[in-house]
Amino acid sequence: MNFVNEDVVTLNRISITNFLQEIGPDEVKEEIISGLTAKKKHISSKYFYNKTGSELFEQITALEEYYPTRTELSILKRIAPGLMNAYKGFDIIELGSGDSSKISVLFYAASGDYPEQIHYLPLDISQTAILSSAEELVQTFPNINIDGYAVDFTSQFELVGRDRPALICFFGGTIGNFEWDASLELLQNISRQMKRGDILLLGTDLVKSEPLLHAAYNDARGITAAFNRNILNTVNEMIQSDFREDDFDHLAFFNEEKFRMEMHLVARRELELTSPFLSRPLVFQKGEAIHTENSHKYSAKHIREMAAASGLDLIHTHTDNRGWFALSEFQLA
């Protein structure tokens, strides 16, 4: 996560521009310290995705317990030919692009019908993740040009330049990481950046049984726990603190009242942590938690409410045969 230097990577059919320096390290430090010194300590889930975090999340998506990725992929494989036919000639924008597994499904579906070049614009906070997936994609698909952006898409989407209508893909149920009001604010911001003819394809994890949810966020191999604790390494990098992963336990549970899974890091003992950007040590009592992630689960009613609050029309919702996950198409109202 390069919040310091403007950096443009240019390779064969790949250009990646870093706009994170417009946020700057001072703003990042302020956000992290504000969360850690709040009455209820928290760290934004966007800081999971340093290089190690991105690699760990790729491992999570392959776990037997972790249903969201394979379920969303099953829907995407079914609807991809129709999408790519309906939106032929559109730019393809992906928010929080991560690896290339999902977007590749669209490109495979288009490979026989797109003699012209496909313009793909991945947006992610990790420039490393964008470059890694971009290199795979240009090797696999000879008719793709990639203009990637290292950005915080929640606040920098307007920096992305394009001339054609776009299919904007927001996969993975990532919208569920935000509080309800914040998710509506994000969708409103996306809506404001959309042009007539644009389509938003939004992935949402649906309400399901608690045991299934618990297993997905507490895998037997402990990879999710490692992913959760690794956020402390990003914090150490950003504010030069002295967090140790071994001082915290992974905790994930279903909050029934708020329809969401929550992830926390719980102090194993009393701790005093330091940073040159803190006026005094950061004190933890044994059992005190840092809230690191929410993952909201949605109903059909929630999806309709999100559309109405964001100035979007819901065109269609695609689900799997068990009703575990949804991919919904929206356009400007």
Q: In angstroms, rounded to a whole number, what is the distance separating the alpha carbons of residues 287 and 248?
A: 9
Rounded Cα gap, residues 154 and 63, in angstroms:
28
Distances (CA, A) of 131 to 17, 149, 234, 235: 11, 10, 20, 23
CA dist., res. 220 & res. 251, Å (int): 13
Percent of the chain with pLDDT over 90: 77
| Contact yes or no for 150/17 (Cβ under 8 A) | yes
Give the DSSP per-residue string, 31-57.
HHHHHHTSSS-B--GGGG-SHHHHHHH
pLDDT of 112 strictly over 80: no
Q: What is the torsion angle, in degrees rounded to the nearest 10, for the CA atoms of residue 257, residue 207, residue 186 and residue 77?
A: 170
CA distance 167 to 90: 6
- Does residue 2 have a pLDDT over 60? no
Given a cut of 90, is residue 155 above it in pLDDT? no
E strand or H helix at 11: strand 8-11
Q: Which of 65, 99, 95 is nearest to 174 (CA)?
A: 95
Picking from 204, 271, 235, the residue whose alpha carbon sits closest to that of residue 42 is 235
User: CA 319, CA 76: separation in Å to the nearest integer?
Assistant: 9
For residue 268, give both structure tokens.
């194993």
Q: So what's the pLDDT on residue 61? A: 93
pLDDT in tens, 130-145: 888 999 999 999 889 9
Instruction: Look up residue 298 and give its DSSP letter.
Output: B
pLDDT in tens, 216-275: 999 999 999 999 999 999 999 999 999 999 999 999 999 999 999 999 999 999 999 999
Q: 6 pLDDT exceeds 70?
A: no
What are the residues whose beta carbons fall under 8 Å from the beta carbon of 52, sequence distance 6 or more?
230, 233
Pick the closest to residue 19 from 37, 2, 36, 44 (CA basis). 2
Q: What is the pTM of this model?
A: 0.90
Q: Are 239 and 275 in contact (CB under 8 A)?
A: yes
pLDDT tens track for 296-310: 999 999 999 999 999
- CATH annotation of 1-333: 3.40.50.150
For residue 202, the surrounding DSSP H or E stretch is strand 199-205
